[in-house]
């Protein structure tokens, strides 16, 4: 399979022109004047990528003896604050934060657990676990998950947490055929579904291998829907849809965040921050193709105020995001 290159919307300042002092000064000026200059904060955060924001955060403390994140917390509020703080976190710290927040809110938000763990690489999951315990919460991520979810769904999450998915790119056709047969025998060809077989194959096999399995198993998605339910079904479907087409999967996640009686801002923030430097531009194009509406239009319908302005600035590609320091 040919390599596929995805594109984010936040590129950052060119490295040879980047100077952390100037944006640190701009942020301090925006927050120390009478009335916070939210538009300047939006500009600074969107002009710089995550790596550069970490350097700005350090420079801010060096120049002013103040913590940039604490200053943002004191000056901002609501979803705007949440989005700004998310942009200031290193990527795997943000993943760890989202996982913790999904479990410690009133009622565990299982879809966030599934979204993150089903789509991160082995190395990324290992880093999330390390950050979760050593840097943020002083407890094992696995222990927190065990205290919040149960049953077959828990076993899927625990399997993903081992970060042991086969990462080889070659495909063993014989093993593909065996897995297809095993899945059929575990589901529609027997009374009662053998969830262990589904979990073992979906969690352990490589992405290229699973794509071949899905091609050969006609309507596996339908079998999952008919044979399983609840959070387990959502987990299987998330893995299936992510493997089949990651961009379509994420476009669907954005769509789900806009569905229902109100916008799921927590999930929307998680998606925007996580994908802003990776593939958000591609997701936007796929979103428009599938739903006949631009992602920008959907956000304009759902999000207001400085929060809406910041999300639109992140989602809408523009050359101004790469303007050198002056």
Residue 91 inside a domain? The answer is no
Each residue's pLDDT tens digit, 4-54:
568 999 999 999 999 999 999 999 999 997 889 999 999 999 999 999 999
* DSSP characters over 34-49: SS--HHHHHHHHHHS-
User: In terms of Cα–Cα distance, which of 258, 326, 325 is closest to 295?
Assistant: 258
Boundaries of domain holding 214: 173-244
Does pLDDT of 324 surpass 60? no
The whole-number average pLDDT for the span 292-309 is 97
Does pLDDT of 320 surpass 70? no
* DSSP characters over 210-252: HHHHHHHSTTHHHHHHHH--HHHHHHHHHHHHHHH-HHHHHHH
Residue 87 inside a domain? The answer is no
User: In terms of Cα–Cα distance, which of 24, 33, 134 is closest to 75?
Assistant: 33
CB atoms within 10 A of CB 108: 16
Give the mean pLDDT of the chain. Answer: 93
Residue 278 inside a domain? The answer is yes
Does pLDDT of 268 surpass 90? yes
Query: Measured between alpha carbons, how far is residue 109 from residues 71, 98, 162, 180, 264 in Å?
Result: 29, 10, 21, 31, 11
Report the pLDDT value the prediction gives residue 33, as an integer from 0 to 100.
Answer: 79
The total of structural domains in the chain comes to: 4
User: In terms of Cα–Cα distance, which of 102, 110, 155, 106 is closest to 132?
Assistant: 102
User: In terms of Cα–Cα distance, which of 248, 251, 247, 223 is closest to 236?
Assistant: 223
Q: Give the C-alpha separation, 156 to 187, whole Å.
A: 17
Lowest pLDDT segment from 189-193, 246-250, 291-295:
189-193
Q: Give the C-alpha separation, 86 to 211, whole Å.
A: 33
Does pLDDT of 107 surpass 90? no
Task: Give all strands (DSSP E) within 136-197, no chain letters.
Answer: none
CATH of the domain at 304: 1.10.220.10
Residue 322 inside a domain? The answer is no
C-beta separation of 86 from 124 below 8 A: no
* pLDDT tier, 192 (very low <50, low <70, confident <90, very high otherwise): low
Residues 238, 180 share a domain: yes
Residues 291, 260 share a domain: yes
Give the residue carrying structure tokens 């700004």: 84
Q: Give the C-alpha separation, 136 to 145, whole Å.
A: 16
Residue 250 inside a domain? The answer is no
The whole-number average pLDDT for the span 91-101 is 97
Prediction pTM value: 0.92
From its phi and psi, is residue 170 left (phi > 0), alpha (psi between -120 and 50) or beta?
A: beta
Report the pLDDT value the prediction gives residue 144, as an integer from 0 to 100.
Answer: 97
User: In terms of Cα–Cα distance, which of 127, 111, 217, 209 is closest to 169?
Assistant: 209
The whole-number average pLDDT for the span 131-146 is 98
Residues 188, 140 share a domain: no
Residue 82 inside a domain? The answer is no
């Amino acid at each position: 399979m040919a390599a596929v290159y995805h594109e984010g919307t936040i590129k950052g300042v060119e490295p040879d022109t980047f100077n952390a002092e100037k944006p640190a000064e701009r942020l301090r000026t925006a927050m120390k004047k009478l009335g916070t200059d939210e538009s300047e904060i939006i500009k600074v955060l969107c002009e710089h990528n995550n790596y550069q924001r970490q350097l700005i955060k350090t420079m801010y403390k060096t120049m002013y003896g103040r913590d940039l994140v604490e200053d943002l917390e004191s000056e901002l509020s609501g979803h705007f604050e949440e989005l700004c703080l998310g942009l200031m976190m290193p990527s795997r710290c943000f993943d760890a934060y989202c996982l913790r927040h999904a479990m410690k809110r009133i009622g565990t938000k299982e879809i966030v657990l599934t979204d993150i763990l089903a789509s991160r690489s082995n190395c990324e999951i290992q880093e999330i676990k390390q950050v979760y315990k050593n840097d943020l919460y002083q407890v094992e991520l696995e222990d927190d998950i065990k205290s919040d979810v149960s049953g077959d769904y828990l076993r899927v999450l625990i399997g993903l947490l081992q970060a042991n998915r086969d990462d080889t790119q070659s495909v063993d056709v014989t093993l593909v055929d065996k897995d297809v047969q095993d899945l059929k025998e575990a589901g529609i060809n027997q009374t009662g579904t053998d969830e262990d077989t589904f979990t073992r194959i979906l969690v352990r096999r490589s992405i290229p291998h699973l794509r071949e399995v899905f091609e050969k198993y006609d309507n596996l998605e339908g079998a999952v829907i008919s044979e399983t339910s609840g959070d387990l079904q959502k987990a299987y479907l998330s893995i299936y849809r992510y493997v089949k087409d990651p961009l379509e999967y994420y476009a669907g996640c954005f769509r789900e965040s806009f569905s229902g009686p109100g916008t799921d801002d927590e999930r929307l923030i998680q998606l925007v921050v996580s994908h802003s430097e990776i593939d958000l531009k591609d997701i936007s194009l796929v979103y428009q193709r599938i739903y006949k509406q631009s992602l920008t239009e959907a956000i304009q319908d759902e999000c207001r105020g400085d929060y809406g302005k910041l999300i639109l600035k992140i989602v809408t590609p523009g050359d101004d995001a790469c303007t050198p320091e002056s």
